[in-house]
Chains A and B, each alone.
Chain A
Amino acid sequence: MTDKNPLAVAKGHGHALLLLLIVSLIGLPLILPSATLATEILIFGLAALACNLLLGYTGLLSFGQGIFFGAGAYGAALLMIHLHWGMLGALVGAALFGALLALLVGALAIRRKGIYFVMLTLAFSQMAYFLAYTLSGWTGGDNGLLDVPRPNIEIAGHVLVDLADPRHFYAFVALLFLLIFAGALRVIRSPFGSTLMAIRENETRAAAIGYDIRHFKILVFMLSGAITGIAGALYAMLLHFAPLSNIDLMMSENILIMTIVGGTGSLFGSLLGAGAIVMLGDVLSELWPRWLMLLGVILILVVVFMRGGLWGGLADLVKRLQPSRALDAKTKETL
């Protein structure tokens, strides 16, 4: 996928990245006009991060991320509405549901490689959409699932954190984001992550060394499905509503575009991409209902001119602003 040396991603500066993330998570609601918008960015940042695990690190282009996003939204909503599950239970349920569906979709789609895999994920995405549409007794069909609760965090009936306040909910989502980001970072830097990158770089060779490629692909697919499921659940709680559009192909495409615009193969880039697209949508969708056209243009421009995405662009900028340090590194290398 990327031209970079795969090991470059594995090394990097983990602590600096986490620090940058913490600063961003604190700064985001201060800069933005509303905590709700900031929360939405983090939710799609999670979905893009999960997509990046597939696209950026394993080289799997999935048009099926909307399946897991929608499934997480419906799953959590149904658990909360019918079984009165609490916040954490609903999130765990959404993660498990997302992972289960990813197992099903993955087990079938991963039977084929390359272009067929991509086409299968898109076909399954359409299938999930029609399934959600047909099961209107559960999903509300076209009308969506209304009155999704946002439970507080309670211990033995005692309210620990009141999440009805948008700022509290933001803080909760930010904490989740930090945990999942750190977890994803660990996964990428583990031997498991290195194997994923080996698959990305050369699948045949990775198989020849003795790795069971399908096993690894299904596992990363399930991990991605679980994270996307959590994102979907949080989105339903944010809106108090789980619309059919959550599981639409357009959702899969949106998540993919955020991932690519942010930068494939960079976890922090996913947050940047989600931020850019969500904010653009927030500003433009009111003014110009056809703003998706611009999304198409942006996607093409990024692919043709800026393949590293926003993260890659920023990295280049930093390099250019610090010519001396770059030179230092070079001289060090020659020494």
Chain B
Amino acid sequence: MLDLYLFQLLNGLGLGMIYFLIAVGLTIIFGLLNFVNFAHGAFFLLGAYLCYTAVALTGNFWLALLIAPLAVAALAWVVERLLIKRIYHLPHTFQILVTLGIALIIQEASVLIWGPVGKHIAVPPELRGVLIVGDFIYPYYRLFLIGFAALIGVGLWLLLERTRFGALVRAGSESTETVSLLGTNIFRLFSLTFALGVGLAGVAGVLFAPLRGAQPFVGPEILGIAFVVVVIGGMGSFGGALVGGLLVGVVQSMMTSLWSQGASLMIYGAMAAVILVRPYGLFGRA
């Protein structure tokens, strides 16, 4: 029985790390660009589908793990340049609506390209099999998932805290005008940050694909979960996205063993509880 809980706890951590990657991308974009990307779930979806195609073409999951997020980020960069750049001067409502439009287009295009039925993506051969410690059995892929996502998280933290680019993003989140006045091409920074944030959703989509496959209508569900994470953890906070993501992942995973139908319901219940007790999130300030 205890093994089952440990199993679900580890599953929850893996799921939580995926939620962290999605939410932290959302948060970085919001921090600098000041709008919520409602196409985030759709880009996640695209990551999973591109992973499917890359694996189908090359037969190599590792190559897919590299190519698919880069392709998603590249598309995001183009979309930002062509479309989102034109609407920075408008109120946030309009920016949300444009990203909602993008989300619909990506979702429907995915169905057109890959069909309405989900695609299965195999676990890479190197990670098939299970780890056995005494009575405890755990799949390698899920362990890899936790480790890899943690690696990306550390890399991202170093990028934001230790590089010139990261310093600009952080400074821009405080005041885009000041950064712009100091001679930085702020629009280039916007494009790169949007691509980076969306690319993280793409990574999450690829990592998630061997677990649940690529499903055409998963976008809104992922978006909803990402919002729960940032509402709990607070928007614009790296640590908040991490703790919020892990919390939501673990709650969802633990609930699956207790009441499988209500697992999705419970994470929203958790969000409502946090809003009631601490309206500004666990780490938020008023």
User: Which A residues form the contact surface with B (CB < 8 A)?
Assistant: 1, 55, 59, 61, 108, 111-112, 114-116, 118-120, 122-127, 130-131, 133-134, 249-250, 253, 256, 260, 290, 292-293, 295-300, 303-304, 307
Contacts and interface: CB of A to CB of B under 8 A. Distances in A.
A295 B275 contact: no
A253 B86 CA distance: 23
Contacts of A260: 97
Contacts of A127: 265, 268-269, 271-272
A299 B100 contact: yes
B235 interface: yes
Given A114-B92, A134-B262, A292-B108, A119 B227 contact: yes
Interface stretch (B12-20, B135-143, B199-207, B218-226): B218-226
Report, as a range, how many residues of chain B touch the other chain. 35 or more
A119 B231 contact: yes
A300 B220 contact: no
B214 interface: no
A299 B227 contact: no
Contacts of A112: 231, 275, 279-280
A292 B220 CA distance: 14
Interface string B178-190: 0000000000000
Contacts of A119: 36, 227, 230-231
B105 interface: yes
Given A115-B30, A116-B231, A293-B105, 14 more contacts: A55-B93, A61-B96, A112-B275, A115-B92, A118-B96, A123-B271, A127-B268, A127-B272, A249-B224, A250-B220, A290-B112, A295-B101, A299-B101, A304-B86
A1 B96 CA distance: 13
Contacts of A108: 272, 275-276
A266 to B, nearest CB: 16
Contact of A120 (B112, B231, B262): B231
A290 B111 contact: yes
Contacts, number: 115
Nearest to A121: B227
Nearest to B103: A296
A116 B96 CA distance: 12
B67 interface: no
A118 B275 CA distance: 14
B71 interface: no
B261 interface: yes
Contacts of A59: 93
B80 to A, nearest CB: 14
B102 interface: yes
Of the candidates B98, B100, B261, B276, the one having the most CB atoms from chain A within 10 angstroms of its own CB is B100
Nearest to B42: A296
A115 to B, nearest CB: 5
Nearest to A119: B227
Nearest to A125: B224
B83 A300 contact: yes
Contacts of B265: 127, 130-131, 134
A310 B153 CA distance: 46
B125 interface: no
B256 interface: no
A127 B271 CA distance: 10
B279 A122 contact: no
Contact of A1 (B93, B100, B105, B261): B93
A203 to B, nearest CB: 13
Contacts of B262: 134
5 shortest interchain CB distances as A-B pairs: A296-B104, A127-B268, A293-B108, A126-B224, A300-B101
A325 to B, nearest CB: 31
Interface in B99-123: 100-105, 107-109, 111-112
B228 interface: yes
